[in-house]
Structure 1
């Protein structure tokens, strides 16, 4: 059974979609621990509600980023975490952390990468006037939203869309494809080759 560790800073709706997929038997994995850099994160409440270990690791309690990240790594290692899931984690991870979990960190971003990286991707899409937006699950590398792409889902942009309305529809797709990407990993179907993810067919 694949052991997951989830890092989240906010509401944790993507965390909830993964919890639901596990509980429904759609995803053969266990969330061992949820860690937040925000002690008021709703994600911690969601974890506790489902009897998942919930940990607050405050960056202000450490002298530097490496000590902060080492505290997170220690929590993950204590729980034998095999795959790290970023679910609205608002801290940029250092090369030290990324190398430690090389090709074992997933993130979801609310755009069709490589378009509209960084914050407010939905507003960026609206400002640019695109007709199709969406979301992307990818492995994390040392760039911002630049890692190998695993799955994507497209969402039509409507003429009267606001950042909030577009974000809401994209979020529905995030909740669908994030558990699906983790499932592919759990089944050993993901292979990174030349900076691209290949999805292996079932034997």
Structure 2
């Protein structure tokens, strides 16, 4: 089974997955990093792990339709079976969703359906919530609305800063997401 990871930024979740695939802790092959920001740090991480990289932007492709079509061509040419979104900050289009139905997972830094979309951590913090969380879900055509696979609550402490809360959320993500993906990939074998 060939796996692609889509990411847009730093790549801390990518790093964990790359290490797990390299150590054979996850079934399948990490066959591709797709990144929509050519200068993102995750590209350097992929290079260090010798993971094949594709990176291009919507602007380079002309529009979102052509961008999605080009991504799908890349995925088909590399015979990708499953997609892990790891900080990919774009909505997946219908063409890719149809081709990979039920085979795209995402990690969201909130306890969905609370705070879908961007800036979830900041919004939960600003609302002075007692807790927020992390969610792993399948991707559908909506915004963070796909079927939930697993969730964990993360408390917002009295003297927290956004940065401290973000660290604790990332710590939960780094445990939950790989465990859930491992379970899914084992079931797909």
User: TM range, normalised to the smaller chain?
Assistant: over 0.9
Aligned to 2:51: 52
Aligned to 1:199: none
Give the alignment of 1:17-32 within 5 angstroms: 17-32=16-31
Aligned to 2:32: 33
1:103 to partner: Cα distance: 1.0
1:87 to partner: Cα distance: 1.1
> Given that residues 7 and 85 in structure 2 are in contact (C-alpha distance below 8 angstroms), is that contact kept between their aligned partners in structure 1?
yes
Aligned residues: 188
CA distance in 2, matches of 1:89, 1:186: 20
- Pairing 1:138–2:134 present: no
- DSSP 3-state at the match of 1:114: coil
Deviation by residue 1:21-61 (Cα, 9 ceiling, x = unmatched)? 22333212221010111110111111111111011122111
- DSSP 3-state at the match of 2:142: coil
- DSSP 3-state at the match of 2:180: helix
Structure 1's consecutive aligned runs of 4 or more residues displaced over 6 angstroms after TM superposition are none
1:96 to partner: Cα distance: 2.4
- DSSP 3-state at the match of 2:187: coil
CA distance in 2, matches of 1:143, 1:31: 27
RMSD: 1.4
CA distance in 2, matches of 1:163, 1:119: 15
Unaligned runs of 5+ in 2: none
- DSSP 3-state at the match of 1:188: helix
> Given that residues 18 and 178 in structure 1 are in contact (C-alpha distance below 8 angstroms), is that contact kept between their aligned partners in structure 2?
no
Q: Quick one: structure 1 residues 84 and 22, their matched pair in 2 at CA, closer, same or farther if it must change by over 3 Å?
A: same
CA distance in 1, matches of 2:157, 2:23: 33
CA distance in 2, matches of 1:162, 1:97: 38
- DSSP 3-state at the match of 2:179: helix
- Pairing 1:62–2:53 present: no
> Given that residues 44 and 55 in structure 1 are in contact (C-alpha distance below 8 angstroms), is that contact kept between their aligned partners in structure 2?
no
